[in-house]
Amino acid sequence: MRAGRLWAVVGMSALLGGSLLAWACSGWPAVTSAPVSSALWTVLRLGSAPDLTVAELSWHEVGKLQLQALPLTLIGRTLSEPGNPAEGEGGFRHQWPGVYATGRFDGDTVVIGFDDGLNRYRIAVDGEPGPVIVVNRPGRRSIRLAGLGPGAHLIRIDKISESPDASGRFIGIGVPEGHGRPPPAPLDRQIEFIGDSDTVGYGNLSLDRDCAPEDLLGLTDTREAFGPRVARHFHADYETMAQSGIGVVRNYDGALPGRTIPLIYPRALPDEAAPKAGDRWAPDIIVLALGSNDFATPLTEGERWADNDDLRTDFQAGYVEFLKAIRRAHPGAYLLLGAWEQYGPDYMLAHQAIVRDLKAQGEARVDLIILPQMDRSACDWHPSLSDHETVAQALIDYIEARPGMWDDAAEAKGH
């Protein structure tokens, strides 16, 4: 490496909705040992990198490095940001859960840049045998992983927390100049999950129903929710379009009237009106698990429904229109509605009527699956890891019993 060179940003380009960044810097500082955990990160597994070290770098230190941007395959809705990543700018903002990025590089070291005081990230190198690190609310910082060993590596970064009130920003990944490789190709199969806190994986790591709000960050892992489990089984890319408390026509306890899933679903970020950019996302299967919040709490004075029958009628109509909008956006997708009997008779009757009405209107690629009973022993009576595993298996069994679902979707999309 050549000391004393200050490289300009070469440029930025979108790749599947994310950013392709070039970082420019000089001089690689000596690597020092890092503890297994700190307030910022936790090393969950060393795996094939027993000499792994983790260090926090300031953006001033990053500015002394000679790095090139690692091209990334990004899955999930984001908004690209302009700016110089060598100064902690640029990258992409995200708010929906379950966004993830993958890249390939050669060599021992990688630097990951964040500007996010809200979220947790899981960083995995080389899949199952490799090291895994969780980064907690990194703020405007970069993290350097060293001691990964020589040769080719695959890195994956998952957002595993929920940030319903604001977006976070992932700046990108830098590697020593000349060590970047082309990113992995997107997987052939795509599956989407639309839902509420059950789909997010709210508090799913907890062993107790009583959770303090400040502990939720560390007790939620969207990657371990039922949706990503199903996707991994079928070797599919996935998007998670979910938010805690959201409903189809009524949010939990009547909160934020009108700001329901049909309103925010088309958006790149739930809190911003900008629609998602056109991309190559065309899911083969869309699994929806909605409605528990619509019926979870009694109606209160001032809400627009006279009684539960009125609410159920409105829910059915609203859900049908939402499904028709999804169908227009994704004409080849199979629409699978999931429902739990434990969420009550109004909820179940509405789901049955919705699917029955759609089929009567000629919609052939829609169905209802009754999902298994859950213990709901995690935070605030939400599904536990065991529940998520059980629900995932039910969905896997349903899809495997219909082996043509993937092929039919590909044919309907014209592939």
Exposed/middle/buried for residue 382 (C-beta within 10 Å: 0-12, 13-18, 19+): buried
**CB within 8 A of 124, min separation 6: which ones?**
130, 131, 132, 133, 155, 156, 157, 158
CB 143 within 8 A of CB 55: yes
**Helices 345-360, 308-329: crossing angle, 10 deg rounding:** 40
**Treating both helix axes as pointing N-terminal to C-terminal, what angle do 226-233 and 385-400 enclose, rounded to 10 degrees?**
40
Question: In the numeric block, which tokens belong to residue 200?
Answer: 């997010």
Q: Tokens 């429902």 correspond to what residue?
A: 339
CB atoms within 10 A of CB 165: 9
94 contacts: CB under 8 Å, gap ≥ 6 = 76, 77, 78, 79, 159, 167, 168, 169, 170, 269
| Contact between 337 and 369 (Cβ < 8 Å) | yes
Name the E strands within 183-252: 189-195, 236-242
197 flagged as catalytic? yes
Length of the chain: 415
User: How many Å apart are CA 98 and CA 201, to the nearest integer?
Assistant: 10
Residues 6+ apart with CB under 8 A from 415: none
What's the CA gap between 272 and 344, in Å, rounded? 33
Catalytic residue (choose from 19, 142, 163, 197): 197
Cα→Cα distances 338→61, 365, 411, Å: 49, 14, 24
In the beta sheet, which residues pair with residue 174?
69, 111
SS3 160: coil
Q: For the chain, how are helix, strand and coil distributed in percent, rounded to 5?
A: 25, 25, 45
Strands (E), 147-186: 152-159, 168-176, 180-181
Catalytic residue ranges: 197
